[in-house]
Amino acid sequence: MNLILREQIVRHVFANLGIVFSPFVNLDKSKSLASQDYLLPEKLSFQDSEGKDIQNKVWGCQISVDKSEVKMLLADCSQDKDLPVYALLIQMKDAPAYGLYLVYSDHLPAENQVDSEATIAFSMDGKSWMECGTYLQATFLAGMEQLRDIGIGWNKCANYQAQFESLQSFLKFQSNLQGDDDEGQEN
């Protein structure tokens, strides 16, 4: 698997959604997925390295395209205020769910930057996850580019419980991939 390509795809998707900085994305023309307008009441709980509980935000938006609905949930998985970590779940109705994960340290000095741990995975049932190979990564990116190019406004997510459960499942998968013990839990 091409790790550099995967990281660039994940960063590109997060930048296009206004989650991380990119000089190529004009946020004056679109709203960040992490805006107050899309904030959901659910929280994810994590424990930091000292065992302290952390409650993080979850945002969600949806759009209807050609009689189909696309929902996105964004989770702040950060455990350190200086090192943003995000997970994103994207699902079109009656289609596989895709999960993206990114540790974002570009804003830090070069000596303090960490591995991005960028992940793109998919799930047919919202419970069992598998990393995407290059072909699925490219297909996913093409779909995300089409959504961006449509230019239709997003709405705050409704009826997203299945996607929230899939997001939690994806976070467990990501945690297992990285060998971490800190899993996102619903509050």
The string of pLDDT tens digits covering residues 22-42 is 656 655 666 788 999 999 999
Q: Is the pLDDT of residue 181 over 50?
A: no
- Amino acid 185: pLDDT: 47
Beta-bridge partner residues of 120: 100
* Beta-carbon-side half-sphere exposure of residue 53 (alpha carbons within 13 Å): 7
- Quick one: what percent of the chain has pLDDT higher than 90? 45
- Amino acid 164: pLDDT: 97
Region 8-15 average pLDDT: 89
47 in any annotated domain: yes
| Other beta carbons less than 10 A from residue 143's beta carbon | 15
More confident residue, 5 or 99: 99
28 in any annotated domain: yes
37 in any annotated domain: yes
The amino acid at 28: D
Number of domains the chain contains = 1
Q: Is the pLDDT of residue 114 over 90?
A: no
Task: Print the domain residue range for 18.
Answer: 3-179
The b/e string for 17-49 (b: 16+ C-beta within 10 A; e otherwise) is bbbbeeeebeeeeebbbbeeebebebbbebeee
Region 81-88 average pLDDT: 89
Q: Token pair for residue 73?
A: 């949930």
187 in any annotated domain: no
3-state secondary structure of 171: helix
- Amino acid 163: pLDDT: 97
Q: Is the pLDDT of residue 88 over 90?
A: yes
pTM of the model: 0.87
Q: Which of 38, 31, 111 is nearest to 73 (CA)?
A: 38
| Spatial separation of the C-alpha atoms in residues 137 and 12, rounded to whole Å | 12
160 in any annotated domain: yes
Least confident of 73-77, 133-137, 143-147: 143-147
